Structure 1
Amino acid sequence: MLKSSSLSEEQRAAAVALFETGWGAKSVAAKLGVSKRAIGRLYDRWRVRGGTTLVAKPTKRQFSFEFKLAVVQRFLAGETQVALAQEFQLSSPILIKKWASLYRNEGEDGLRPKPKGRPKSPFGAPSQPESELQRLRRENERLRAEVAFLGKVQALRDEDRR
């Protein structure tokens, strides 16, 4: 099950057992003394997946833009999250809620795949080759600094000899 879940495995197993005997989410949360929100999410998953709610899925599925758009349009047309999650074998009805929220806020572009990872740095790109004039100016500046430094060292030595 989810590592980030606020419920222990024993609490999840007890909650599913109570769901299967007819208990509701609020009653189970009160009986087990745990968060109503966590039990509510578990209850929604149980309504979709039944007894397999406690079995962890091996991989994270990725959904195409067209698939997400079709599911969201059916949801906005009035079908329930749970019915759609069951029909399309989604892990949780909350996925549909998230997709619908993205669709409302950002339009169809919100459902399109986003690039993963850190964006490429402009510093990693090869820079323009330095012109000869710029290179000579930099070298000239470095040599001036070196002459000034050596002059000060010489002045200190002369001062010590006196």
Structure 2
Amino acid sequence: GGQFMGKQSALTQEQRIYAVACFEEGRGERSVAREICVSRSAVKRLYHRWRVRGRGALVTKPTKQSYSFEIKLAVVTRFLCGEPKVDLAREFDLSSPKLIETWARNYRARGEDALKPRPRGRPRRLASTQDGEESELQQLRREVEYLRAENAYLGKLRALREQQRRTK
């Protein structure tokens, strides 16, 4: 592999080029991994990148891309409402569909705050009297966000079921 491939890929550049050629022929990650005798997870990661970026999957992005809070929230909301992560990754030009899973997991755990950029440097201390109130407010906001997402999801589900009932 290239000198600054780092931990990006367990595959050599040659293996990656070969694997992508196989994907283009319609082969899946399982048979390709077996043929070139490498771990399936490495081929699977490449396969997912290929589904999003085509041959662009062979080019590793040198800089760590960062996405705005608004984009992350839009992507996560649509993902939680049932849109496929590969389609979303393609639409928003994300480096990998894995990113969406990570954002969604963090969002479920910590609400919208999990998607906001973290402040750099040493954190400023809040007055200790505000601490208790602040965390309760954050908890309530998180709960509201979760319930909103759940509501949107259930609404979408209901609409889909209604649609299926009508087509039967």
Please confirm whether the aligned pair reaches a TM-score higher than 0.5, indicating the same fold: yes
Paired residues, number: 121
Q: Which runs of 5+ in 2 are unaligned?
A: 124-168
Query: Structure 2: which amino acid aligns with 1:116?
Result: R
Q: Distance in 2 between matches of 1:56 and 1:11?
A: 14
For residues 70-124 of structure 1, the C-alpha deviation after alignment (integer angstroms, 9 at most, x for no partner) is 110000000001000011111110111110011011111111111235x37xxxx
The equivalent of 1:39 in structure 2 is: 43
Residue among 19, 29, 41 paired with 2:23: 19
Shift of 1:60: 2.6
Query: TM-score, normalized by length of structure 1?
Result: 0.69
Per-residue Cα deviation, 1:126-160 (whole angstroms, up to 9, x for no partner):
xxxxxxxxxxxxxxxxxxxxxxxxxxxxxxxxxxx
Which residue among 107, 111, 117 is the counterpart of 1:113? 117
Shift, 1:21, TM fit: 1.1
- Which position in structure 1 is the counterpart of 2:145? none
Identity %: 57
In the alignment, structure 1 residue 3 sits paired with structure 2 residue 6: yes
- Once residues 96 and 26 of structure 1 are traced to their aligned partners in structure 2, the CA distance between those partners, rounded to angstroms, is 23
Which runs of at least 4 in structure 1 moved beyond 4 Å after TM superposition?
A: none
Q: Which of 82, 88, 108 pairs up with 2:86?
A: 82
Counterpart for residue 133 of structure 1? none
- CA RMSD, 1 decimal: 2.0
The answer for unaligned runs of 5 or more in structure 1 is 121-162
Instruction: State the TM-score, normalizing by the size of structure 2.
Output: 0.67
The one-letter code of the counterpart of 1:18 is C
Superimposed CA distance per residue, residues 15-70 of structure 1 (whole angstroms, 9 cap, x where no aligned partner)? 11111111100010111111111111100000000011112334332211111011
Out of 55, 59, 63, which is 2:63 matched to?
59
